[in-house]
A and B are shown apart, each in its own frame.
Chain A
């Protein structure tokens, strides 16, 4: 047994070392470094990766991913793609932005994209942040909330009031709801904490006690508590950023839709822009005009209220044409 194992291992290693190093193809080499976690997280990592694969296919290139398990590995994971002479490197999440910025400065010939990374000036010519028009996504979520509320009272729980994307989501939500039901009252609470599900749950319970029957969470981990409270009280919940019906299975039973960033489109289009127009820089906002934001498919409603889908389509088209501004 022992000898057999040893022989197998030796033969295998030689075979691998001699021949099986994969071919690189002729097109662009595109690498993705994930945020901490898994590749199939039904959230930022997974959809950014799908977009990178789509983008690679569209430009005739190849895509590979490195999954990050520890914050200490960000630098090394980016560097690995640099060493392997990749043409485009996409990184996911704000925690990795410092290391991405440094890598972009050190490697001006490589294009870097940062998903959900706002890059402060001065921005290197080869580094583009992929951002999203949260107000538009929030507006669509608001249309859903305004349509499905029975009590005429809806609520939103925000993470922090000093984080612009959070505030934009909620302002858009408020205006979207009022656009379909002008009498709706919107309770808004910022719990000033992204990591406190208990505070989110408490805040949601207070609102539910006041008659609120639709709750929108824009509060990270705190928001998980908001959705839990919604589920327990059998009222409607609305998720944020990704389709949380998929990413938060515990609360799937009460999530109607999510104000969604279309990460898959954003990374795919970034790669295409680079292929077509060369180096990309600045902070690029994905919005309705490039299908960068939207409302996730309507779930848990049977039947879907009449006209809801049309209203969403209409609003999306109006935002595309510029006729509709979610925050006037």
Chain B
């Protein structure tokens, strides 16, 4: 027992602020729900948040289908969270997951549709590969620009998000529009879809996502590349003195980040959506940033953070049906979690956390993107 405690202590000291942030976010959101209930038709109801949270939980974990929905929603967030997380490890803030996700989803949709009649064992891996490579290529652009010209990745990736959405809208309208539908979309992916492992929708992509968590963990912890990424993130100058190539590592990390984001798009396309159409939203892109921060860029942390966010998505419909509490409450909770993570002094006060303050490298990267360092040319830092 004591040995267990001793082994868990370091993990807990890392995890306690995120966990307390979640608890506090639920509590504050509950107050919002209670107050706003007074303005609804059903009237003031101090127990409403508990009913809502109970249905949220039941929807996410209360049945086999609920658990499957949670896992299905969590899988792309794992890929996306890893994409943001590995960037943060190298001191890069990749806001471009949304765009890389769309590019990956589009490439997977088009490849999958082209191979719709081919056996799954051929079409599915090739469509996945296409999605990953497209995302990697789209991640390479800001990586190369950062490494070669110093163009700030926050600026370039935000721009590239819009570029991706507009370019793909044009592509679907004018290049690959499938006949027989009343709106522009790509053709059915047929046999290229990810096989369903169990139930209605538990697809193979979930296994890929969990595998990716452990592969990235292995790369970061056990390989020279991972060591270089972390060193460049911690101190680029020191890395250069130690004989590493920060420029190369920067470009490579953004490419890997794009690859992971592209795979997120690919599994969402091949496992859930099935066709690309303008208007496809990439909420995964921005939720991934929250997942990475909540998981503190640690692959295992990201795994759990993605499961939590997936549970929100899977449980929300039942909460809406049975308690009429709007889905926006989920947005409030997610935002509060990040707020409390950033302002961890509040969390430490409320929960009397005495453990020494641990510097959260990833938050320093995010906040320092604008405040510290030299601002990218042409912008007011």
Given A75-B201, A95-B183, A195-B169: A66 touches B50 (CB 8 Å cut-off):
no
A64 engages B47 (CB within 8 Å): no
A16-24, A178-186, A269-277 - the one binding chain B = A16-24
A16 partner residues in chain B, CB cutoff 8 A: 47, 50-51, 53-55
Find chain B residues with CB under 8 A from A67 CB.
Answer: 320, 326-327
Asked if A36 contacts B322 (CB within 8 A), the reply is no
Contact present for B320 and A76 (CB under 8 Å) = no
Residues of A within 8 A of B317 (CB): 66, 73, 76-77, 80
Q: Interface 1/0s, chain B 188-206, versus A by CB < 8 A?
A: 0000000000001100000
Is A310 interfacial (CB-CB < 8 Å)? Answer: no
Q: B281 within 8 Å of A by Cβ?
A: yes
Min CB gap A117→B, angstroms: 8
**CB of A249, distance to nearest CB on chain B (Å):** 20
Pick from A65, A84, A98, A120: contact of B274, CB under 8 Å: A98
Interface residues of B in 1-57 (CB under 8 A from A): 23, 26-27, 47, 49-51, 53-55, 57
4 tightest A-B CB contacts, nearest first? A12-B50, A16-B54, A80-B317, A16-B51
Give the complex CA separation of A72 and B51 in angstroms: 26
Q: Mark A72-107, 1 if CB is under 8 A from B, else 0.
A: 110111011101100000000011011000000000
Residue in chain A with minimal CB distance to B76? A72
- Contact call A76/B182, Cβ cutoff below 8 A: no
| Cβ B321 vs Cβ A84 within 8 A | yes
Q: A13: CB under 8 A from chain B? A: yes
Tell me whether A2 is interfacial, beta carbon within 8 Å: yes
Q: Is the CB of A39 within 8 A of B326?
A: yes
Q: Check B326–A72 contact: CB distance below 8 A.
A: no
Digit string of A7-34 for contact with B (CB within 8 Å is 1, else 0)? 0010011011100111000000001000
Is the CB of A150 closer than 8 A to any CB of chain B? no
Across the interface, which residues of B come within 8 angstroms of A73, CB to CB? 313, 317
Looking at chain B's contact residues, is the secondary structure mostly helix, strand, loop, or mixed?
helix
Q: Is the CB of A69 within 8 A of B283?
A: yes
Q: Give the distance in Å from the alpha carbon of A275 to the alpha carbon of B71 in the complex.
A: 38
Residues of A within 8 A of B314 (CB): 76
The answer to whether residues A70 and B326 also contact, given A98-B274, A118-B182, A193-B173 and a CB cut-off of 8 A, is no
Min CB gap B151→A, angstroms: 25
Residue contact A20 to B51, C-beta cutoff 8 Å: yes
A306 contacts partner chain B, Cβ-Cβ < 8 Å: no
Q: Closest approach, in angstroms, between the C-beta of B276 and any C-beta of chain A? A: 10
**Which residues of B sit under 8 angstroms from A39, Cβ to Cβ?**
326
Complex Cα distance A2/B72, Å?
33
Q: Is the CB of A2 within 8 A of B323?
A: no
A30 to B341, CA, bound (A): 40
Instruction: Answer whether A15 and B183 are a contact pair too, CB < 8 Å, given A39-B326, A65-B320, A79-B200.
Output: no
- Taking the nearest CB of chain A, how far is it from the CB of B69, in angstroms? 6
Residues of A within 8 A of B166 (CB): 195
A158 to chain B, nearest CB (A): 15
Interface pairs (30), CB distance under 8 Å: A2-B350, A9-B26, A12-B47, A12-B49, A12-B50, A13-B53, A13-B54, A13-B57, A15-B50, A16-B47, A22-B322, A36-B281, A39-B326, A64-B321, A64-B322, A66-B321, A67-B320, A69-B283, A69-B327, A70-B283, A71-B280, A72-B76, A77-B317, A79-B65, A80-B317, A80-B318, A84-B321, A95-B183, A120-B180, A195-B278
Which residues of the partner chain B approach A79 to less than 8 Å between Cβ atoms? Answer: 65, 200
**Interface 1/0s, chain B 247-279, versus A by CB < 8 A?**
000000000000000000000100011110111
Contact of B279 among A20, A22, A75, A95 (CB under 8 A): A95
Given A20-B47, A79-B200, A195-B278, are A2 and B352 also a contact pair (CB < 8 Å)?
yes
Which residues on A sit within 8 Å (CB–CB) of B76?
A: 72
Q: Which residue of B lies closest to A2 (CB)?
A: B351
Given contacts A22-B323, A120-B180, A195-B169, 13 further A-B contacts (CB under 8 A): A1-B351, A2-B350, A5-B27, A9-B50, A12-B50, A16-B50, A17-B54, A22-B322, A65-B320, A69-B313, A71-B281, A76-B69, A193-B173
By beta carbon, the residue of chain B nearest A65 is: B320
Query: Is the C-beta of B311 less than 8 angstroms from some C-beta in chain A?
Result: no
**Cα distance, A64 to B313, chains bound together (Å):** 18
Judge whether B321 and A31 touch: CB under 8 Å.
Answer: yes
Residues of B within 8 Å of A9, CB to CB, are 26-27, 50
- A81 — which chain B residues lie within 8 A by C-beta? 321
CB contacts (< 8 Å) of B57 on chain A: these are 13
Tell me the smallest distance from the CB of B129 to a CB of chain A, in Å. 21
A76 to B26, CA, bound (A): 24
Interface residues of B in 98-141 (CB under 8 A from A): none
Q: Does B237 contact A (CB under 8 A)?
A: no
Chain A residues with CB below 8 A from B274, complex form = 98
Q: Is the CB of A98 within 8 A of B275?
A: yes
* Contacts known (A76-B317, A77-B317); A64 close to B283, Cβ less than 8 A: no
Contacts of B182 in A (CB 8 A): 94, 97, 117-118, 120
Contact with B along A304-315 (1 / 0, CB 8 A): 000000000000
Check B65 against A83 for contact (C-beta < 8 Å). Answer: yes
> Is B284's CB within 8 Å of the partner chain A?
yes
How near does chain B come to A196, taking the closest CB pair, in angstroms? 9
In Å, the complex CA distance between A175 and B180 comes to 30
A22–B323 CA distance with the chains assembled, in angstroms:
7
The answer to whether B283 touches A5, judged by C-beta atoms less than 8 angstroms apart, is: no
Contact indicator per residue, chain B 328-341, by CB within 8 Å of chain A (1) or not (0): 10000000000000
